[in-house]
Structure 1
Amino acid sequence: MTEFSNQFSRRKFLLTVGASAVGSVLLKGCLGNPPDFADTAQVQQVVAANISPEQAPETTRVKLGYIPIVESAPLIIAKEKGFFAKYGMADVELSKQASWGSARDNVEIGSAGGGIDGGQWQMPMPHLISEGVITKGNAKIPMYVLAQLITHGNGIAIASKWQGQGVDLKMAQGKGIVSQLKSAGTPFKAAHTFPHVNQDFWIRYWLAAGGIDPDRDINLMPVPSAQTVANMKTGTMDAFSTGDPWPYRIVKDKIGYMAALTAEIWKNHPEEYFAMRADWVDKNPKATKALLKGIMEAQQWLDNFDNRQEAAKILAGRNYFNLPVAILLEPFQGRYDMGDGRKIDDQSMAPLYWKDEKGSVSYPYKSHDLWFITESIRWGFLPQDYLTKAKAVIDQVNREDIWREAAKEAGIAAADIPTSTSRGVETFFDGIKFDPENPTAYLKSLQIKRVKA
C-alpha cells in the first residue's frame, strides 16, 4: 500500500471513529434536549481532530430549508446521524418550510435576512430563481445545483369515487370521464404543490399521455403538500401529484387510491435536488464540499435497506414529518398498496438516494436539467427561444464539478463517479424518448403542448 493510501485509510478511519462520537452528541441535541456547553466543545474537538487542514470548512454554520416529504431524507439523516458534523459542518440548521413558495422567498433573503442559504428544491426552481423568473421583482438570485437528492418517491393520487372507472396509469377510460365533466361545467380538479416544476410536470405528463390537455380539459392548480389529505377528504379535489408520504396516506385513510407511481411513468427519473445560493458557495467552497460529503454518506446509508426502518422512525418524528411511522415504512421498502387492489413489492420502485438501475442518483446530470427546461418550454412556462440559451444557463447553475471534487475527497470509488454530464436517452411509459442531444425532436414527438415544434 502506498504512503498516500496509508494516510488516506488512516484519515478515513479517524473520520469514521470521530463520526460515532459526533453522532451521539448530535442525536442528543436533535432528538432530545439541546446539547450543553460541554457537548458543543466535544463536537468541536472531534471535528478539529479528524478534518484535514486542506479540507477544513470556512464555516461550520449553514441554514438549509426542507419540505417534509421523503425527498428531504438525505438532509435530515446527514444531520441526525452526524454525517454533516463528520466533515466539519457541526452547526447545520434544518428549517422546515411551510411551502415551496416560502422556500423560494426565504432563499431570496438568505440566512442573513432570516431566511435560508439553500436546501431541497423541485426542478428547475434553482434555474428559475437564478434567472429571476419566479422571484419578487424578477430579481436574479444566482444559485448552484450541487446534487440530486432522490429518484422516485412521488405518485398520482385519485379520489375514491373514480376507482374502477379507468382513471389509472394509462387512462383507459379516464379521457371520456374528463370530457363529460368538462361538458357539464364541473371540470376534473387536480393539483400539484408548486407551478412550473417537477410535481407539476409529472401530472401534466401523465394526463397528456392519456390524451388530456392539462390546461384546457381540467382545472389544475397548486396546493401545498400538507393540504392534500384534507382537500381529498372534503371532496374538493379529484387528483394530486405530490411526494410520499402524502399519496400513500390518502390510501391508508381510505379516501383515495394511486393511479400511478412516478416510477411507473419514468423509471429512475430525477426528482428533487440540493441547491445553494451561489454567493454562499463562492464564499465557502470547502464548507460546500463538506455538506456534499455528508449528503453523499447519508444517501449511501439510506440505500442500505436494513437502515430504512430506523430512517422511517427519524423522519416520522415530531421535529420532522410528525406522522405515524407505518405511513413511511412500506413505501420505503418498495411495498405499495395502490388502494385499488393493485400491489407493488419491488425495491427498485422505492425512493432511491445513492444508486438506481442506471447508476448514480446523487450526481446532478446536466442532461436532466435540460429535460426540465425543455418541458418548461413544452408548456409555455418559458419561451421557445429559451432553448437556444438553455445550455449556457445549465452550465452556470449546475455545478456537477463541485460534486465530483467532493466525491473524490470523500474517497468515493471511481466507478461511482459518472464520467459524462449526460445520462443519455430517457424513455417514458408511453414510449416517448428524450434525447438530450436533440431536445427539439422530443418537442416534435409530443401531441399535446403549447409550443410549435
Structure 2
Amino acid sequence: MTNRRKFLSVFSATLAGTLFLNACGNPPEKGGGADGGTASAPVADAGLETKTITLGYVPIVEAASLVVGVEKGFFAKHGLEVKLAKQASWPAARDNVVIGSAGGGIDGGQWQLPMPHLITEGIITNGNKVPMYVLAQLISQGNGIAVSNSLKKANLRVDLTPAAPTILGFPKTEGRKFRAAHTYPNANQDLWIRYWLGAGGIDPDKDIELLTVPSTETLQGMRNGTMEAFSTGDPWPFRIVRDDIGYLAALTAEMWPVHPEEFLAVRADWVDKHPKAAVALLKGLMESQQWADKAENKTALAQMLSSRAYFNTPAAVLEPALKAEYKLGADLKPSNDPKLGPLYWNSDRGVISYPYKSLSLWFLVESLRWKFHPGKLDTIEQAKALVDKVNREDLWRQAATELGLPAGDIPKGSSRGKETFFDGIVFDPENPQAYLDSLKIKR
C-alpha cells in the first residue's frame, strides 16, 4: 500500500507539471461589481508593491472564485493581475509553491488543509520550510464520497454502520480488502473519508486499503474496479453518478454542515513584501465569492468553468453540482437543497471566506488523531502555535473594512465556536483533547 501511494504521488507530480494560463488577458467587462455581472473598471494606480501574482488551482469547484475573479475582473478592479496556473495534482502544487514564481512555480493558490501549515514547517517538503499564510477560505462543502455500483445492494450512506459488515467482509468475499481513495494524503479529502469510515466502525488504516489517486483517474479507477470508494471535490462525484459508474454515498455537507473546505494561501515572503497587494487580492476574492454564491449566477459560472482553459468539463455536468442538484444513495434519491451544495459566501454560520483559526485547528487535530507526522507534530500546543503563525485573519479584516463590508459580516474573534458532526461528536476548539478522547478509532 505504501509503495503504491508513493508511486502515484510521484507519478502525478511528474505527469504534466503545470499548465500556466494568463487568464487576465481578457479586460474586465463593464458592469456593477459583486452585485452585478462584472467588476467596475480597473484601478488606474492602486499603489500596490507589485501588479501580478501567480496562483495555482486544481480544476474542482473549490477553485471557482479564483476563476471568477479573473474572468469578471474583480482582481483587476483592485489593481492586481492574477495569473492562474492549472496544477496537474496536489503534489505538483506543493512542489511548485516551493519553487515559487521566480523559479517558474507559483506564489500560492488553492489548498487543501493543512497543507500550508505543513509546508511552513517543511513536514511535507522534505524538511524544506517555506512559510505560508492562510488568507481566506475559498469554499465550504462541494465534496462527496462516491461508491461503485458494485455496492448498490449495500446502499452505503452517511451512516456507514449498516454497511460495515459488507466492507469488513471483503477479504472473505472478494479475496482482498475494500479499496477507498482520495487525492492527497493527510489533507481534506483523506480526512473526510477517514472520518466517515471511523464513524461507521471501520479503521481506515487496518480494515481497508486506502489509496492516493489523482482526481483525473477517478472515473477510470471506478470503472475498472481499482477502488470501491473515492473522496474528492465536484465535478468528479457528480460525474461518477452521471456516467452510471457509481452513486453518492455521502456529501461532506451531510457529515459536517458548513464545514471548512479549501483555502487561499500564499507564500509568506510574497505577502510580507507586498502587503498592499495581498489586501487587494483579498478584496477581489471577496467580491468574486459574493458573485459565485448568487443563485442567478450559477449557469454563467458553469459556462465559465467549463472552458478548456479552466476545467475542460461540460457545463451540463458542472451546473447541477453548483446548484446542489444531487442524486443521493444507491436509489438515486433527488436532493435540491442549496444548503447541501458549494457555499462561497453566505451560510448559516456566517461568512464563508473568513480564515477562522478554530477551523484550521481541526485539521491539525485530526493529524494528531491519526499520528500522521510523529516527531514533527505531536501535541495540541504545537498545532495551536502553527495555526497562530500561518492564519492571517488581520489581513482579511483589513480587506473587508476597506471593501466596506457590513460590520456584521466581519467576525470579531478567531473561533467559530463548537462544531457538531453527523454522528454527534463535538469539536470544541477550546478543548481539542476532549474531541480526541471522544473518538473511538484513532492511533
Q: TM-score, normalised by structure 2?
A: 0.89
* Structure 1 position 291, deviation (Å): 0.7
- 2 CA distance for matches of 1:296 and 1:168? 34
Quote the Cα distance in structure 1 between the aligned partners of 2:179 and 2:188: 18
| One-letter amino acid of the structure 2 residue matched with residue 352 of structure 1 | L
- Bigger CA drift: 363-372 or 180-189? 180-189
Matched-pair contact (CA < 8 Å) for 1:309–1:329: yes
Aligned pair count reads: 407
Q: Secondary structure at the match of 1:364?
A: coil
Alignment-mate amino acid for residue 23 of structure 1: P
CA deviation map 1:424-447 (0-9, x unaligned): 000000000000000000000000
1:427 paired to 2:417: no
Q: Deviations over 1:77-135 (max 9, x none)?
A: 0000000000001x311000000000000000100000000000000000000010000
* Secondary structure at 1:343 match in 2: strand
Paired residue for 1:171, among 136, 160, 171?
160
Q: In 1, distance between residues paired with 2:381 and 2:259?
A: 24
1:312 to 302, 306, 316: 302
- 2:137 pairs, out of 144, 148, 153, with 148
Aligned-residue identity in percent = 57
**Whole-Å separation in 2 of the counterparts to 1:208 and 1:145:** 28
1:263 aligns with 2:239: no
Residue 431 of structure 2 corresponds to residue 438 of structure 1: yes
Residues 228-377 of structure 1: pairs in structure 2 closer than 5 A: 228-338=218-328, 340-341=330-331, 342-377=333-368
* Partner secondary structure for residue 431 of structure 1: coil
For structure 1, which segment, 320-329 or 196-205, has the greater mean C-alpha deviation from structure 2 after superposition? 320-329
Match of 2:96 among 93, 98, 106: 106
Give the drift of 1:173: 3.1
2:408 to 401, 406, 415: 415
- Find the aligned partners of 2:368 and 2:287 in 1 and give their Cα distance: 35
1:161 matched to 2:150: yes
Contact 2:293 2:343 in 1 (8 A): yes
**Structure 1, 363-372 or 375-384: larger mean CA deviation:** 375-384
- Structure 1 distance, partners of 2:188, 2:275, is 28
Q: Within 2, Cα distance between the matches of 1:443 and 1:46? A: 50
2:441 to 431, 439, 448: 448
Matched with 1:3 is none
Q: Give the aligned residue type for 1:354.
A: W
Please report how far the alpha carbon of residue 237 of structure 1 lies from its aligned counterpart in structure 2 after TM superposition.
1.0
Query: What is the rounded CA distance, in whole Å, between the counterparts of 1:85 and 1:255 in structure 2?
Result: 41
- Separation of aligned partners in 1, 2:42 and 2:176: 60
| CA positional deviation for 1:388 | 1.8
Distance 2:71 2:145 in 1: 30
Give the alignment of 1:198-217 within 5 angstroms.
198-217=188-207
Secondary structure, counterpart of 1:138 in structure 2: coil
1:123 match: secondary structure: coil
Deviations 1:363-409 (A, max 9, x none): 00000111010001001113473312222111110001100001111
- The residue number in structure 1 matching 2:10 is none
- Relative to total residues, which structure has the larger helix share, 1 or 2? 1
Q: In 2, are the aligned partners of 1:191 and 1:223 still within 8 Å (CA)?
A: yes
Rounded Cα–Cα distance in structure 1 between residues aligned with 2:210 and 2:361: 24
Is 1:47 the counterpart of 2:38? The answer is no
CA distance in 1, matches of 2:304, 2:43: 27
Q: Radius of gyration: which is bigger?
A: 1
SS, match of residue 115 in structure 1: coil
Q: Matches of 2:43 and 2:61 in 1, distance apart? A: 32
Report the counterpart of residue 37 of structure 1 in structure 2.
none
Q: In the alignment, residue 348 of structure 1 is paired with which amino acid?
A: K
The superposition leaves residues 234-288 of structure 1 with CA deviations (integer Å, 9 ceiling, x where unpaired) of: 1211000000000000000000000000000000000000000000000100111
- How far apart are residue 24 of structure 1 and its match? 2.7
**Does structure 2 retain, via aligned residues, the 8 Å contact 1:131–1:140?**
yes
Query: Distance between the aligned counterparts of 2:75 and 2:258, measured in 1?
Result: 27
> Hey, what does 1:5 align to over in structure 2?
none
* 8 Å CA contact 1:166, 1:173 repeated in 2: no
| 3-state SS of paired residue (1:259) | strand
User: What is the identity, as a one-letter code, of the residue corresponding to 1:204?
Assistant: R
Residue 46 of structure 1 and its aligned partner are, at CA, apart by 5.3
> What is the distance in 2 between the residues matched to 1:188 and 1:174?
12
> SS at the partner of 1:375?
helix
Rounded Cα–Cα distance in structure 2 between residues aligned with 1:280 and 1:65: 14
1:68 aligns with 2:59: yes
Given candidates 126, 140, 152, the residue that maps to 2:116 is: 126
* CA spacing shift, 1:48–1:426, aligned 2, 3 Å: closer
Partner residue, 2:393: 400
Distance 1:63 1:357 in 2: 33
Deviation at 1:164, TM superposition (A): 2.7
**Structure 2 residue matching 1:92: 3-state secondary structure:** strand
Question: RMSD of the alignment, in Å?
Answer: 1.8
Counterpart for residue 76 of structure 2: 85
TM-score norm. by structure 1 comes to 0.87
Task: Give the aligned residue type for 1:108.
Answer: V
> Does residue 24 of the first structure (1) align with residue 13 of the second (2)?
no
Q: Secondary structure at the match of 1:318?
A: coil
Conservation of the 8 A alpha-carbon contact between 1:256 and 1:339: no
Consecutive unaligned residues in structure 1, runs of 5 or more: 1-20, 26-42
Q: What stretches of structure 2 of length at least 5 have no aligned partner? A: 1-25, 31-38
Change in 2 beyond 3 A, CA 1:253/1:339: farther
